[in-house]
Amino acid sequence: MGLLSEMSWQEVEQELKQTSVALIPVGSTEQHGYHMPMGSDTYCAYEVAKRTAAKEKVIVTPVIPFGISHCHMSFPGTITLSCDTLFRVVSDICGSLKKHGVSKFIFVNGHGHNMPTLQTVMDEFKKEKGVLFFVVQWWIAGLKLTPQLWSSKKEDLPDGHAADIETAAMLAINSSLVNMKKADRVVMSSLGGSGIRFNKSTSALLKDYPVDLTTIADFKQFTKSGVIGSSLAATREKGEMVLDKVSDFLAELVRELKNTETAG
């Protein structure tokens, strides 16, 4: 398993002779309801990356434990980075790995509000020749790969914040950190009394047509516990299944990238 933090430089040197692909897990430190720990996004992103590395040879960097969490700052303990800070950190990580021979990068994202910044990093690196960048939001991939496990009711939002998919994954990773007696279900309402209905924290619907939002300014406007969606149906078994399926998918992506040439 190619966990960078556990390898000597000579082991890394040998590993890079066999793979030019790196997984970069990106999480956050922010509220996840009454029932889950602040580091849930970080735990989940790193777990997916580690399970992938157990299935296919790939370099896995240490997880980035902070992200863009401005909208959770009303909840004590949340730590947020500015977009510029996250951009610089991720860019420097990628630049360092590129110097060592990595040419194919996969961000394993654990927090939706990191996406605009990660996309900006990818846009900047498009100026470089001979590199490929991908990003996988693990819980969204999980919903698509295991739809039979989750509620199909729109208001349950199994891929919402601290909802069933994340809760199930955390139960599989470390159940001692999850208190299911405090699990919650929060149905989001309309935007300011208008006909625009929230679909999740980063999108809304008008007459069932999706309209992307940059972000909710403050989660406490809409949810007392911090949950969006339902976390009531989560189980450890579901968590094992979704983590396994997502890591299978990522392992396949890594295999395909090993056979993919980069321009330049």
* pTM of the complete model beyond 0.85: yes
Q: Where in the chain are the domains?
A: 2-258
What is Dmax (Cα atoms) for the chain? Answer: 61
Note the pLDDT of residue 153: 84
**Share of residues in the chain with pLDDT > 90 (%):** 76
Query: Per-residue confidence at 219, pLDDT binned at 50, 70, 90?
Result: confident
Task: Report the distance separating Cα 107 and Cα 21, nearest Å.
Answer: 11
Note the pLDDT of residue 202: 64
Query: Per-residue confidence at 189, pLDDT binned at 50, 70, 90?
Result: low
Task: Determine contact, residues 106/22, Cβ cutoff 8 Å.
Answer: yes
Assess whether pLDDT exceeds 60 at residue 257: yes
Q: At what angle do helices 236-258 and 138-145 cross, to 10 degrees?
A: 100
Note the pLDDT of residue 173: 98
- Compute the C-alpha angle 23/236/240, nearest 5°: 35
Task: Determine contact, residues 106/251, Cβ cutoff 8 Å.
Answer: no
Residue in 185, 216, 184, 183 with CA at minimum distance from that of residue 198:
216
Mean pLDDT over each residue of the chain, to the nearest integer:
92
Q: Looking at domain 2-258, which of 3.30.1340.30, 3.40.50.10310, 3.20.20.370, 3.40.50.300 is its CATH number?
A: 3.40.50.10310
- Compute the C-alpha angle 46/30/122, nearest 5°: 55
**Share of residues in the chain with pLDDT > 70 (%):** 93
Note the pLDDT of residue 177: 98
Note the pLDDT of residue 213: 61
Q: At what angle do helices 40-53 and 164-174 cross, to 10 degrees?
A: 70
Query: Per-residue confidence at 209, pLDDT binned at 50, 70, 90?
Result: confident
CB neighbourhood size of 251 (10 A): 18
- Which residues, in sequence order, are CB contacts of 141 under 8 Å at separation 6+? 246, 249
Q: What is the pLDDT of residues 70-116, one digit of tens each?
A: 999 999 999 999 999 999 999 999 999 999 999 999 999 999 999 99
Q: What is the pLDDT of residues 25-48, one digit of tens each?
A: 999 999 999 999 999 999 999 999
Note the pLDDT of residue 205: 74
- Which residues, in sequence order, are CB contacts of 241 under 8 Å at separation 6+? 146, 149
Assess whether pLDDT exceeds 90 at residue 201: no
